Amino acid sequence: MARIELVGLSKTFGSVVAVRNLGLTIEDGEFVVLVGPSGCGKTTTLRMIAGFIDPSAGEIRIDGRVVNDLEPRDRGLGMVFQTHALFPHKTVMQNIEFGLRMKGMPAPERARRVHEVADMVHISHLLDKMPGECSGGEAQRAALARTLVTQPSTFLLDEPLSSLDAKLRRELRAECDRLHQALKRTFIYVTHDQEEAMTLADRIVVMRAGEIVQVGTPMEIYSDPANYFVADFFGSPSMNLLTGEIVQTNGTGRFRGAGFELALPDGFKSARAGVATLGIRPEHVGVTLGGNGDIELPVRLVEPLGRDTLLYFDAGAERAFIAVSEGLDMADVKVGARMALSLDPRRLCLFDADGRRLAPS
Ligand SMILES: Nc1ncnc2c1ncn2[C@@H]1O[C@H](COP(=O)(O)OP(=O)(O)OP(=O)(O)O)[C@@H](O)[C@H]1O
Ligand SMILES: [Mg+2]
């Protein structure tokens, strides 16, 4: 059992506020991913939970008990770090059993436990190797095994896959997922990779500049971003974000962007006039050659990916406006061709000048 509560948790380093007034409850067995750009306070949060850093304010509770004053080893948590940090002069076996040896566990029991976890993360054949003789992926598996073997109630993982190449990262990501399902323990996983967050999390906690911006399931975060920052952070290719303004004429709101104008969908007809950003995901843009649409734009680039085709348009902004078309129907479209784009009105997002999402009325 491990239900973890963070209550008004803050940390300042001199004049730097690394974490500000965090409030979050992580349920027993949940897989929660903390995600956000570099420097937003993810590691600091995790290290406070682990007990390596004292909070400047606030409480950490595990199963209802305040643990602020407990030593890391007495919290029953296991941490896997950004860099795997194995002891270089010990074998993989000795690395994994180190924690158990410290606890004074007898050798036969130690060996049994080490073999069990080594089997779990597929490194049984590596136990006699030195860390220097392991590949990055193998070393990271060994680091995972070293934490697994202590049987913590909660796993705290700080970007455990960031030093690996894309293919290994996907492989080990699936492994983490499988371990979570098998062990039914609480996982708190830190990453700045939105794709990792989307694929692993039961719930995503989006952080920015030391604060929580939004908490939700991957689908909630993706479909219902709380603000411009979240909308822009999640999704690949990212959400199209067009700056412009909302104008009101005779009680019907319209959005006026660079070189286009469209009627706002129901719910936004009376949105307040002013500077705004319109957001729409590439998969919610319909494209036709020569038909009618909300916007007409020239094609800048066509990228056939096999399953889909990505169409990049010149929208007068730095970033291209992107539409995804299923299959290869659009693969032969010529650069420069003007296409009609229709934006699914149910999927439009509008943000005010401060990046806040406008709610439909
Ligand atoms: N020991 C420290 N002393 C001073 N400032 C620190 C210390 N640790 C972290 N900070 C600062 O606190 C802020 C948050 O750092 P943190 O390491 O938690 O970010 P992060 O989200 O983990 O970033 P990354 O994705 O780069 O790992 C940063 O501005 C960082 O410079
Ligand atoms: Mg970090």
Report yes or no on 346 lying in a domain.
yes
Please indicate, yes or no, whether residues 153 and 243 belong to a single structural domain of this protein: no
**Over residues 305-313, mean pLDDT:** 92
237: preceding bond cis by omega (within 30 degrees) = yes
Decide if 190 contacts 159 (C-beta within 8 A).
yes
Please indicate, yes or no, whether residues 301 and 165 belong to a single structural domain of this protein: no
- The domain that contains 317 carries what CATH number? 2.40.50.140
* Domain residue limits at 312: 238-352
- pLDDT of 161: 85
pLDDT digits (tens, 9 = 90+) for 86-109: 899 999 999 999 989 988 999 999
pLDDT level of residue 82 (50, 70, 90 thresholds): low
Residue type, 45: T
pLDDT digits (tens, 9 = 90+) for 99-152: 899 889 999 999 999 999 998 888 999 999 999 998 888 888 899 899 889 889
Q: What span, in angstroms and rounded, lies between the C-alpha atoms of 152 and 268?
A: 50
Q: Closest Cα to atom 2, ligand 1: which residue?
A: 13
Q: How far is the CA of 298 from the centre of ligand 1 (A)?
A: 43
* Best mutation site among 19, 42, 162 for ligand 1 pocket (most ligand atoms within 8 Å of CB): 42
In terms of pTM, does the model score above 0.95?
Answer: no
- pLDDT of 244: 93
Q: Closest Cα to atom 17, ligand 1: which residue?
A: 43
Burial of 1 (0-12, 13-18, 19+ CB in 10 A): exposed
- pLDDT of 83: 66
Q: Specify the ligand 1 atom closest to the Cα of 210.
A: 14
pLDDT level of residue 84 (50, 70, 90 thresholds): low
- pLDDT of 177: 92
Decide if 328 contacts 359 (C-beta within 8 A).
no
- pLDDT of 136: 83
Please indicate, yes or no, whether residues 82 and 213 belong to a single structural domain of this protein: yes
Please indicate, yes or no, whether residues 12 and 146 belong to a single structural domain of this protein: yes
* Best mutation site among 6, 15, 16 for ligand 1 pocket (most ligand atoms within 8 Å of CB): 16
pLDDT digits (tens, 9 = 90+) for 16-72: 999 999 999 999 999 999 999 999 999 999 999 999 999 999 999 999 999 999 999
Q: Which ligand is nearest to the CA of 211?
A: 1
Please indicate, yes or no, whether residues 72 and 162 belong to a single structural domain of this protein: yes
pLDDT digits (tens, 9 = 90+) for 223-250: 999 999 999 999 999 999 999 999 998 8
Report yes or no on 179 lying in a domain.
yes
Domain count across the chain: 2
Q: Where are the alpha helices (DSSP H) in 250-316?
A: none
Please indicate, yes or no, whether residues 215 and 242 belong to a single structural domain of this protein: no
Nearest Cα to Cα of residue 56 among 21, 4, 25, 24: 21
Report yes or no on 358 lying in a domain.
no
The label of the residue with tokens 């002891």 reads 87
Q: How far is the CA of 18 from the centre of ligand 1 (A)?
A: 6
**Over residues 189-209, mean pLDDT:** 95
Q: Closest Cα to atom 11, ligand 1: which residue?
A: 18
- pLDDT of 21: 98
Please indicate, yes or no, whether residues 155 and 288 belong to a single structural domain of this protein: no
Nearest Cα to Cα of residue 55 among 39, 64, 66, 40: 66
Q: How far is the CA of 41 from the centre of ligand 1 (A)?
A: 6
Please indicate, yes or no, whether residues 194 and 319 belong to a single structural domain of this protein: no
